[in-house]
Amino acid sequence: MTTPQLQLVREAAVRDLLPAGAPKRLEASGVVVVDARFYVIFDNVREVAVINADLDRIDENRLVPTGLEDRAAYEDIARDPATGHLYLLIESAPRRGGYMARVEEYDAQLRFLWAGWLELPLPEPNKGIEGLDCVDRDGVTYLLGLCEGNRNRGGGAGRRPGGGRVEVFRRGRRNWKRHATIKLPKTLPFTDYSAISVSGDRLAVVSQESSALWLGSLVPSTWQLAGPGRTYLFPRDKRGDIAYCTVEGVCWRTPEEFVMVSDRPKPDVHNPRCHAKGESLHLFALPREDGRQG
Domains of the chain: 7-293 (2.115.10)
| pLDDT of res. 126 | 80
Chain segment 60-82, per-residue pLDDT in tens: 999 999 987 777 899 999 999 99
Q: What is the dihedral of CA 80, 142, 196, 11, to 10 degrees?
A: 0
- On whether the CB atoms of residues 259 and 17 are closer than 8 A, the answer is no
pLDDT over 80 at 170, yes or no: yes
Q: How is 131-200 classified by DSSP, letter by letter? A: EEEEEEETTEEEEEEEESSGGG--HHHHHSSS--EEEEEEE-SSSEEEEEEEEPPTT---S---EEEEET
136 CA to centre of own chain: 18
pTM for the whole structure: 0.95
For residue 291, is pLDDT > 90?
Answer: no
Mean pLDDT computed over 174-198: 97
Query: What share of the chain in percent tops pLDDT 70?
Result: 97
Pick the closest to residue 80 from 113, 125, 123 (CA basis). 113
**What is the Cα 285 distance to its own chain's centre?**
17
Backbone angles phi, psi at 272, to 5 degrees: -55, -30
Mean of pLDDT over the chain: 93
Cα dist from 120 to 95, 105, 126, 135, 203, whole Å: 11, 18, 15, 19, 21
Query: Taking the CA of residue 183 as centre, how many other CA atoms within 13 Å lie in the half-sphere pointing to its CB?
Result: 7
Say if residue 261's pLDDT is above 50.
yes
Looking at residue 294, its pLDDT comes to 39
Rounded to whole angstroms, the Cα distance separating 52 from 54 reads 5
Cα torsion angle, 117, 122, 125, 131, sign = negative
Order across the sheet with 140-147: list the strands: 76-79, 86-95, 98-106, 112-118, 176-183, 165-171, 140-147, 129-137
Tell me what the mean pLDDT of segment 2-11 comes to: 95
